[in-house]
Amino acid sequence: MSTDQTNILKELIDFSNKVNSKVFNHTRFLILTIISYIRDGVQFRVLKNLLNISDGKLQADLENLKEMGYIEKIKVDLDNKKVTIYMITDSGKNEIKKITSWIEIIKKMKDSKDV
């Protein structure tokens, strides 16, 4: 991962902590966003380190996203080892588009009313 990618991901995660999770499940949104951003797939340990959450919470959120069809769990060979990575599906990409469109609407509303 490049320094620019790391900085963007850090900014994404830092800003997400400002969002009220009772209104929006930002952990699942972050997982989906990170997996869509890193196109080669993301290992569990990378997500855990980025998000700083428990194994159980991360696993539950990954399973939830998988059940919704937004991500897939794939075994790949990496340095002669089998590792599991998570990749975004077309449904996941469509969901990200819906969410970003929703955010743009919120931004337009804020800009027009100075909320």
Structural domain spans, the chain? 3-113
Listed in sequence order, the DSSP H helices in 1-89 are: 3-16, 26-37, 44-51, 55-67
> In the predicted model, is pLDDT for residue 11 greater than 50?
yes
Torsional class of 66: left (φ above 0), alpha (ψ -120 to 50), beta (otherwise): alpha
Condensed to tens digits (0 to 9), the pLDDT of residues 17-26 reads 765 565 568 8
Measured in degrees and rounded to the nearest 5, phi and psi for residue 73 equal -105, 125
Average pLDDT over residues 17-39: 80
Name 76's Cβ contacts closer than 8 Å, sequence gap at least 6. 41, 82, 83, 84, 85
Per-residue model confidence (pLDDT) at position 115: 47
> What does pTM read for this prediction?
0.78
The arrangement of strands across the sheet holding 71-78 comes to 42-43, 81-88, 71-78
> What pLDDT is stored for residue 48 in this prediction?
95
CB-based burial label for 32 (10 Å; 0-12, 13-18, 19+): buried
Q: What is the CATH number of domain 3-113?
A: 1.10.10.10
CB atoms near residue 106 (< 10 Å): 11
Give the closest residue to 24 by CA, choosing from 108, 105, 103, 114: 103
